[in-house]
Amino acid sequence: MEIDIVKNEMKRYVIIGGGFGGLEIARRLVKLNVQVVLIDRNNYHQFQPLFYQVATAGLEPSSIIFPFRRNFQRKKNFHFRMAEVLSINSDEKFVQTSIGELHYDKLIIATGATNNFFGNNDIEKHAFAMKSIDESLQIRNRVLEQFEEALSLPAEEKPEHITIAIAGGGPTGVELAGTLAEMKKYILPKEYPELDFDQMRILLIEGAPRVLNAMNKKSSSKAKDYLKKMGVDVMVKTRVTGYDGTELSLDNGSIIRTKTLIWAAGIKGNYLDGIPEEARVRGNRIAVDHFNEIQGMKDVYAIGDVALMTSDDPAFPDGHPQLAQVAIQQGNRFYKNMKSHFKGREMTPFKYKNLGTMATVGRNKAVVELPRMKFYGFFAWLVWMVVHLRSILGVRNKFIVFLNWVWNYFTYNLSLRVIIKGKGK
């Protein structure tokens, strides 16, 4: 069965995935005389950098998602279908989805990345990941449930319920640990006065020699110092080897009892059936050329986290980092190349412009690295907020997030710490 989208004389560009890269391409391509079809398993764009704030009850999910259809209301050459893509047939130029077949003239794969548990099935079964809004809400429910349960348990069983371990010391792990530390100090003791929060531990476990390992050593050191002063147990050069839902095993032989392990230790590309196996490279990513075309395929492209483009740039010899900026810039370059192609002009190879990286650790604490300068503390925290506010879709969402941040800054008292579950869960 073919998906019912009227085919006209315009070329059809099918985009799989509405993350930062896919959305950027869709927003640009609708300006051209082409038919744009976006396929995603959700009907909304998710602002991933703030998932951790949903997980820690700082923001509601609706504040950081935006419906695709709302973004393209006046674009008659845009079509959206909510579906799962099952496979690609590049010979006959169609994608097989959960709702039928869809033919394309050009196909852009922007499926992003998912969690990588490195083959450890026990960790995958018992740990909580944070790569979607749904997973962020599961973490929020889990953390709050453990405090509720701890109230009714014998004293010797309470610590493992209020101990939270985070595997992975990248920006996600650091930001999550910092927010939980602030909750421990300012919020939870007021809401659970019967619990002894001296027994609560927040552990950040990183296999590399330092947290924020992709950033400058000084930035990493600053972030680690911030976390330690906030009461986070930072463990570097340490890897999680197993977890059964209660006992967390580390490669140094230690066993930590905790009911909550949050996994932020690795990602892998969302690979699709139908892509030649020789194009699959490390991290389950897809090898592409400097125009983002997949090696061994014609008129099929990959951008963002799922793509790996080798570079002559000495800063990225093994491919670009899996960051939103890379996906957005690749999307923008793809659009410009298509525009040049229609006009008979030569296309330009992609070149990544590093605009900087940043991470917040908590209130008035952040690290920011720009191409020509680095700064830390309160000013870095303000810059982090401004950059993220500008990137959120929708004026309403920007306003709500800003209002939440301001209110929380002065009161530490949001009313979002509720456990909401679907029927039967």
Distances in Å between the alpha carbon of 43 and those of 15, 111, 311, 325, 364? 14, 14, 34, 22, 35
Contact 178, 232 (CB under 8 A): yes
Angle 104-107-109 from CA coordinates, rounded to 5°? 145
What is the model's pLDDT at position 425? Answer: 39
Task: Please count the CA atoms within 13 angstroms of the CA of 72 that sit on its side-chain side.
Answer: 27
Amino acid at residue number 143: V
Instruction: Please tell me if the domain spanning 11-115+268-342 has the same topology as the one spanning 121-265.
Output: yes
What Rg, from alpha-carbon coordinates, does the chain have?
22
- pTM value? 0.92
pLDDT in tens, 293-322: 999 999 999 999 999 998 777 777 778 989
121-265 domain in CATH 3.30.565.10? no
Which residues, other chains included, contact 156 with Cβ-Cβ below 8 Å and sequence gap of 6+?
none
Output the CA angle 263-218-226, nearest 5 degrees: 55
- Whole-angstrom Cα distance, residue 58 to residue 51? 10
Cβ pair 95, 83 in contact under 8 A: no
Characterize the bridge pairing of strands 85-89 and 94-97: antiparallel
Strands 280-281 and 285-287: antiparallel
Nearest of 51, 200, 181 to residue 129 by alpha carbon? 51
User: What is the distance between the alpha carbons of residues 388 and 381, in angstroms, rounded to a whole number?
Assistant: 11
pLDDT of 2: 86
Pairing status of strand 78-82 against strand 34-40: parallel
**Alpha carbons 303 and 270: distance in angstroms, whole number:** 12
User: Using CA atoms, how far apart are residues 180 and 127, in angstroms rounded to an integer?
Assistant: 17
Find out whether 173 and 204 touch, Cβ atoms under 8 Å. Answer: yes
| Domain regions of the chain by residue span | 11-115+268-342, 121-265
Residues 195 and 147 sit within 8 Å (Cβ to Cβ): yes
What Cα–Cα distance (Å) separates residue 331 from each residue in 109, 267, 312, 346? 11, 21, 20, 18
Can you state the percent helix, strand and coil of the chain, rounding each to 5?
A: 35, 25, 40
* Type and span of the H or E element at 11: strand 11-16
Question: Contact at 8 Å (CB) between 56 and 10?
Answer: no
Q: Give yes or no for a contact between 114 and 19, defined as CB atoms under 8 angstroms apart.
A: no
DSSP 184: I
Per residue of the chain (425 residues), what is the pLDDT tens digit?
A: 888 888 888 999 999 999 999 999 999 999 999 999 999 999 999 999 999 999 998 888 999 999 999 989 989 999 999 999 999 999 999 999 999 999 999 999 999 999 999 999 999 999 999 999 999 999 999 999 999 999 999 999 999 999 999 999 999 999 999 999 999 999 999 999 999 999 999 999 999 999 999 899 999 999 999 999 999 999 999 999 999 999 999 999 999 999 999 999 989 999 999 999 999 999 999 999 999 999 999 999 999 999 999 877 777 777 898 999 999 999 999 999 999 999 999 999 999 998 889 999 999 999 999 988 999 999 999 999 999 998 898 888 888 898 888 888 777 766 567 887 755 43
CATH number for 11-115+268-342: choose from 3.40.190.10, 3.50.50.60, 3.90.245.10, 3.10.20.30. Answer: 3.50.50.60
CB 40 within 8 A of CB 270: no
Distance, CA of 396 to CA of 175 (rounded, Å): 24
CB 414 within 8 A of CB 404: yes
Distances (CA, A) of 401 to 310, 313, 380, 397, 404: 37, 37, 18, 6, 5
Number of other residues whose CB lies within 10 A of the CB of residue 313? 11
Cβ atoms of residues 341 and 363 within 8 Å: no
What's the confidence (pLDDT) of residue 424?
44
